[in-house]
Amino acid sequence: MTKTRLEAFSDGMFAIILTILVLELHVPELENSSFAAFSASMIQLAPKFFAFLFSFFIIAIFWVNHHHIIHQIKKVDTKLLWLNIGLLFFSSLFPFITAFIGDYMMNPFVVALYPLNMALSSLMINALWKHAFVDSDLASSTLTAEEKQARLKRDRMALLINLGSAALAFVWVPITLTIMVVMPFAFVVPEFLANKTEEE
């Protein structure tokens, strides 16, 4: 498979995942035409909407990071293809888990699934990056050895936080929900800056 085919296939998969995600938002049934009925339906829809909004943002982060990686590779090999498929598999689970949480937001077993899937998805995309930039000559990079090690350390930290937040769901669900919301903002800016550095 060529780099172009890999890119097109992956972009198509991410587009399908986002489409399935929004399909989980069903139009509420209004009892009547009053504002009270409208407000009640919006309040009932709110958990699903916020779960959708968050998941859309998370999948967008994975897609942007995937784009930065694939953009810089010169060729593909079998291991890269399978790591890419692993990323797409775990990413495709987000619509199901998002809908599940939208219905059972305070259930620890359900909530724990989200950071667990984030951990597995992150593991795949981090392995994809490591294979392309550290373990092979698939990508051209100007990163120093210290910068590569810093990236790997940050990836391991994110993985541990995701796994820890999944476990914390069985202690108190709001802790896990808070970590889930805060964590992307804590890591997306350094990730963006790292990707900008790699492309220079």
Confidence of residue 199 (pLDDT cuts 50, 70, 90): low
Please name which of 126, 114, 15 lies closest in space to residue 65, comparing C-alpha atoms.
Answer: 126
- Model pLDDT for residues 157-181, shown as the tens digit of each residue: 999 999 999 999 999 999 999 999 9
Report helix, strand or coil for 73: strand
CA nearest to 8, candidates 66, 58, 72, 78? 66
Backbone phi and psi for residue 141, each to the nearest 5 degrees, phi listed first: -140, 145
Question: pLDDT band for position 75 (50/70/90)?
Answer: very high
Listed residue (188, 189, 168) closest to 178, CA to CA = 168
Over residues 72-96, mean pLDDT: 96
What mean pLDDT is predicted for residues 7-22?
96
Mean pLDDT of 48-67: 94
Task: Give residue 25's pLDDT.
Answer: 87
- 6-14 long-range contacts, CB within 8 A, separation 24+: 6/70, 6/76, 6/80, 6/81, 6/84, 7/70, 10/66, 10/70, 10/84, 10/88, 11/63, 13/88, 13/91, 13/92, 14/59, 14/62, 14/63, 14/66, 14/88, 14/91
Can you tell me the distance from the alpha carbon of 25 to that of 56, in angstroms, rounded to the nearest whole number? 12
Over residues 85-101, the pLDDT tens digits come to 999 999 999 999 999 99
pTM for the whole structure: 0.89
How far CA 17 is from CA of 28, 59, 62, 88, 98, in Å, comes to: 23, 8, 12, 9, 12
Greater confidence (1 vs 134) lies with 134
Q: Is the pLDDT of residue 195 over 70?
A: no
